[in-house]
Amino acid sequence: MIEIHEDEYLDPTDGLIHCRKCGGPRQAVIPDPFKGGSFKPRCVCPCQQEKERRRKEAEERRQRMERIKRRKAQGLQDRYLYGYTFAHDNGENPVMAKAHAYVDHWPQAFKRNIGLLLFGDVGTGKSFLAGCIANALLERDVPVLMTNFPSILARLGGMFGEDRTAFLDSLGDYDLLIIDDLGVERNTEYALEQMFSIIDSRYRSGKPLIVTTNLKLDELKHPRDLAHARIYDRILERCAPILFAGKNFREGNAASTKAAARRIVSPDNQKN
């Protein structure tokens, strides 16, 4: 005999156990093809189904948040990049509209392997824009890595054999790779060879690349030697150039910081 729980009742009209909350059946009638007649196994009522659906959704949200947290820890290795978000944009750089558009059209950009080349003077917001794209896509559970060549080369310096190969291969696991500050690395033969290997591997992977640099577009189009030409040609083929020609935001930030510091250390703010 099936036990009837407190939140259930036996409906005399069909002889089945029902839920007191929603009235739905918690038993099903299954014909027995071998012995004839039927049997009545337990089943879930509509409110139990809804409860299970909500539980699964909550678990999926939890897993997604944990996954995004891990992705950020892996993809944004410098903690200050966590603050490079659209929410922190001051609205003064008109180029930011392109960052929003890139994120909004990410599925198409990924499918067609469309990257960006953000070039212009120091302090004009290139790294901030790239960071905004990185954070926005990470929040959408897209694997993104934002790094630079000095960091990559430093990692490679302590690796050999299979570890080295595995690290280089791991760069291809990210749907979007962002190389910040191209041109600040040392131009040794070893460094250039590793840079070419990474850019060429990304080029052949068919996945988007975003590059920020203080170099002029003319320097990228007309490099001084073949080693740089091999690298820049692949970047220019896959990355749409965007010029940052506005004011130096770092100078404004520095002035704001100095003013805040003066207020903090002002004698008027000192307590006896």
Q: How confident is the model at residue 197 (pLDDT cuts 50, 70, 90)?
A: very high
d(CA 168, CA 197): 9
Tens of pLDDT, residue by residue over 81-138, are 999 999 999 999 999 999 999 999 999 999 999 999 999 999 899 999 999 999 999 9
The whole-number pLDDT of residue 207 equals: 95
Within 10 A of 99 (CB to CB), how many other CB atoms are there? 24
Q: Could you give the domains of the chain?
A: 1-75 (no CATH), 78-253 (3.40.50.300)
Q: What residues contact 244, with CB distance under 8 A and at least 6 apart?
A: 93, 95, 118, 119, 120, 121, 124, 125, 126, 129
Residues in the chain: 272
DSSP tag of 105: T
Token pair for 77: 């290795």
Nearest to 249 by CA among 123, 89, 82: 123
**Token pair of 25 as six digits:** 């059946």
